[in-house]
Amino acid sequence: MLTRRHFIATSAAAIAGGPALAQSAGPLQLDVTPEMLSEPLRLPPDFEGDFEIPARFRARIVPVQPGLPLYSIHIIPESFHLYFILPFDRAIRYGVAVGQEGLGWRGSAVIARKAQWPGWRPTDSMIERNPALERYADGMPGGPNNPLGARALYFYQNNRDTAIRVHGTTEPASIGRQASNGCFRMYNSHVIDLYERTPVGALAFAY
């Protein structure tokens, strides 16, 4: 069974002897360029509109442990990073926001649905915690003011929607924080990039 400890430990072992970065950067990594892959990759910019993305949350290609399922998603909440697995034991690492204290989600799922500019309806438990959300009980159409942002990838277990998503955000400063009701937020430019790379049926893991 894949665990966060195993994900990090084997990533470090795979690149033993290379330069290590600070612990806050997540799994140990090397300076890896797109040219090291079979085809160069175009990554999202380091700005989200006028917002400069902090260095540790910029989209970067990094090594990961061998043998992870190709095109799967792996989320390490403690470091606020999401990894999308590429060929040759590499991944694109993005920054994320995670669930608030007591609302974090961990487990495995399948990306069974994807949506562009998704609509949103707060869950009953969200409305219970914040009655002001009652005004959206009938749903909110997708668009630039929708809290799900530009794209959403939907987590399913046993063919049932878990209500957990990887999605964009209207609050770029929330990336790197415990800020959501359980979902994983990304910069809109990052979630668009992830959306275009991730096939329906891909596996997703949060540790």
| pLDDT at residue 55 greater than cutoff 90 | yes
Domains of the chain: 4-206 (2.40.440.10)
* pTM listed for this prediction: 0.81
Mind spelling out the 3-state secondary structure of the chain?
CCCHHHHHHHHHHHCCCCCCCCHHHCCCCCCCCHHHCCCCCCCCCCEECCEECCHHHCCEEEECCCCCCCCCEEEEHHHCEEEEEECCCEEEEEECEEECCCCCCCEEEEEEEEEECCCECCCHHHHHHCHHHHHHCCCECCCCCCCCCCEEEEEEECCEEEEEEEECCCCHHHCCCEEECCCEECCHHHHHHHHHHCCCCCEEEEC
* pLDDT per residue as tens digits for the range 132-173: 877 777 778 889 999 999 999 999 999 999 999 999 999 999
- β-strand pairing of 160-167 with 184-185: parallel
Asked about 190 being catalytic, the answer comes back as: no
Query: Is the pLDDT reported for residue 116 higher than 80?
Result: yes
Choose the catalytic residue: 6, 74, 81, 183.
183
User: 19 falls in which pLDDT band (50, 70, 90)?
Assistant: very low
**How many alpha carbons fall within 13 Å on the CB side of residue 2?**
22
Rounded distance between C-alpha atoms, residue 26 and residue 77, angstroms: 10
Q: How confident is the model at residue 2 (pLDDT cuts 50, 70, 90)?
A: low
Average pLDDT over residues 118-124: 84
Give pLDDT, residue 56. Answer: 97
Active-site pick, 74, 81, 167, 190:
167
